[in-house]
Amino acid sequence: MTTPYRLFLATVLAASPMLALADGVALPAYEQVTLANGAQLLLMEKHDVPLIALDVRLRGGALADPAGKEGSAALLAELLKKGAGKRNAAQFAEAIDAAGGKLNVGSDLESLDLSAEFLSRDAQLMIDLSADALLRPAMDAGEFAKVRERAIQSIAAAKDSDPRQLVGPYGRAWLFRGHPYGRPADGDETSLATVTLADLQAYRTRLGGDRLIIAVVGDFQTADMKQRLQAAFGGWGKAQGELPTVPVKAKETGRRVLLVDKPGATQSYFWLGNVGVDRRDPELPAQTLVNTVFGGRFTSMINTELRIKSGLSYGASSGLARFDKPGTAQITSFTRTEATGQAIDLALATLDRLHKDGIAADMRESAKNYVLGQFPPDLETGPDLADKLAELAFYGLDRSDVDAYGERIRAVTPEQFAKGITVYPDTKDLAIVIIGDASKLRETAKKYGPVTEMKISDPHFAP
């Protein structure tokens, strides 16, 4: 059966014309309100279609997981959807489906997040379900057991079949050894097995109104929405305990290699990285452009060399993970086992070329056009805008982060491009992870630095 949400989806897209370039993109007006308990509300009216999007962020996330209980926030996020208020898991899901709505809860390194989108006539239902999930979850023991088992089996299945999605967790764990950012955001097989329902109940005490950000975008009246949110969340008390403090990790010097043995693997997966930059870095526009040229699009330098020209891989990319403190600057790819050394050598040579030759004028202009063309579609819909408002509030940024983005991209100079290149490490300073058949890769791995070895069957991501 076609839901009301699907009926309006085409209307949403049609009613949100895409701007040609981001120079003219500006956030619509919105109101910011702080409730007595410290909760931050960001309310943006958008009356083109009868939909309302809600985005909630609660500070803490995986960083607040107790030591040895990594994955607690991720398990709690899944469990919050499995019944809340007077509804069990099936009734909670049915209430969402019957209204043609969407509601999801997740977690990442720094926050626990809830997102929802409903027809505007169902605004109160959306708020009630969201408040129930966050304040009055059922925390059913049977549902918890299923959620935890699925999480453990998901990691085991990825290790057994296609480790591509795990090369990032291995890379972060290897680079950030002993640092909070090195802890697995979704847990690992060891830590997940130790988490109990009581642990999640204890984690919930670290959530509260003073750590709450709620962004709402859509077809509503601001005064009315404030009253509804005040009634639903204004009584949520202060969170217990302090938020974890995260020191800035020094950049890696020299090379070290982690070889993760997957016996019989016909492909290898590799991650090359170092400490990057944080979300508030003033050089973000130049860094974004450099990443676009180097590994952020299909025609990037790294993908051109490893896929298009050499055929060594089906894909290679670079990325910058930005958090409250500097995250990672990394290269990832995969290739057939016997070509591992050739592929890593080519990736390193391409990184060397970036540092030595810089970026030509035509590529600088191409990157600007690409980034400016990609930006407007990211802010077309209510959920897009709600997510952006919540992100700005979370990192303490103002609307100029969006409103001036196009101008800042256009204004990046050749000198700023050159400075932006330095976000990527020198090839002599890298943490390297290689996943594959160690019996065929040990000699190759030794080329790149001292090697530490572990088995992919080990129930964790770091030795």
Tens of pLDDT, residues 247-271: 999 999 999 999 999 999 999 999 9
Pick from 248, 242, 107: nearest CA to 185: 107
More confident position, 378 or 67: 67
Tell me the pTM. Answer: 0.91
Token readout for 342 is 């050739």
Pairing of strands 316-322, 326-336: antiparallel
Q: What is the pLDDT, as a whole number, of residue 25? A: 78
Q: What is the pLDDT, as a whole number, of residue 23? A: 61
Token readout for 21 is 């370039």
CA count, 13 A, side-chain hemisphere, 336 = 6
CB contact at 8 A, 89 and 149: no
Q: Which residues contact 93 (CB under 8 A, 6 or more apart)?
A: 81
Whether residue 19 is predicted with pLDDT greater than 60 in this model: the reply is no
CB contact burial 40-59 (16+ within 10 A = b; e otherwise): bbbbbbbeebbbbbbbbbbb
Token readout for 135 is 């304040």
Q: What is the pLDDT, as a whole number, of residue 162? A: 86
**What residues does CATH 3.30.830.10 cover in the chain?**
4-12+20-233, 255-455
CATH dotted code for 4-12+20-233: 3.30.830.10
Cα distances from 49 to residues 96, 290, 345, 369, in angstroms, run 19, 37, 52, 30
Tell me the pLDDT tens digit for each residue of 276-301. Answer: 999 999 999 999 999 999 999 999 99
Indicate the SS3 state at residue 71: coil
The torsion angles phi and psi of 115, rounded to 5 degrees, stand at -130, 145
DSSP secondary structure, 20-53, as one string? SSGGG--PPP-EEEE-TTS-EEEEEE--SSSEEE
Given strand 430-436, what is the order of strands in its sheet? 316-322, 326-336, 267-275, 430-436, 255-261, 451-455
Give the fold, CATH level 3, of 255-455. Cytochrome Bc1 Complex; Chain A, domain 1 (3.30.830)
Tell me the pLDDT tens digit for each residue of 84-143. Answer: 999 999 999 999 999 999 999 999 999 999 999 999 999 999 999 999 999 999 999 999
